[in-house]
Amino acid sequence: MTIVSNKPDLSDADTPATSGSADTAKVVTVAKTRPGALAETGSPLLRPPAAAHLSDEQVAELGRELDAIKDDILAKRGSADAAYIRRMIKIQRGLELSGRALLLVSKKKPAWFAGTALLSFAKILENMELGHNILHGQWDWMRDPDIHSTTWEWDFVTPARSWQHTHNDLHHRWTNVVGKDNDIGYNLLRMDPDQKWTPFNLGNPLYNALLAPVFEWGIAIYDLELVDYKEGRKSKEALTKDLKALGRKALTQFTKDYAATPAVAMLTGSGKQALYGTLTANAVRNVWAHAVIFCGHFPEGTDTFTEEMVEGETRGDWYVRQMIGSANISGSKFMHLMTGNLSHQIEHHLFPDLPSNRYAEVQPKVQEICKRYGLPYTTGPLLKQVGSTWAKIFKLALPPKKA
pLDDT tens for residues 138-169? 999 999 999 999 999 999 999 999 999 999 99
Q: Which residues pair with 191 in a beta bridge?
A: none
Residue 36 has pLDDT above 70, yes or no: no
**pTM (2 d.p.):** 0.89
What residues have CB less than 8 Å from 78, skipping those under 6 apart?
A: none
Average pLDDT over residues 128-139: 98
Between CA 37 and CA 4 the distance in angstroms is 7
Tell me the average pLDDT of the chain.
91
Q: What is the pLDDT of residue 23?
A: 38
Residues in the chain: 403
Across the range 353-358, mean pLDDT stands at: 97
- Determine contact, residues 91/75, Cβ cutoff 8 Å: no
Please give the pLDDT value at position 403.
66
Q: Confidence band (pLDDT; 50, 70, 90) for 258?
A: very high
The burial of 168, by beta-carbon neighbours within 10 Å (0-12 exposed, 13-18 middle, 19 or more buried), is given as buried
Pairing of strands 328-330, 379-381: parallel
Strand partners, 185: none
CA–CA dist 174, 253 (Å, integer): 31
Measured between alpha carbons, how far is 371 from 54 in angstroms, rounded to an integer?
A: 13
Residue 128 has pLDDT above 90, yes or no: yes
d(CA 232, CA 184): 21
Rounded-to-integer distance, Cα 213 and Cα 304, Å = 26
**% of the chain with per-residue pLDDT over 90:** 88
Q: Given a cut of 90, is residue 4 above it in pLDDT?
A: no
14: pLDDT strictly greater than 70: no
Write down the pLDDT at residue 171.
Answer: 96
For the cut 80, the answer to whether the pLDDT of residue 44 exceeds it is yes
Residue 311 bridge partners (DSSP): none
The pLDDT tens digits for 187-212 are: 999 999 999 999 999 999 999 999 99
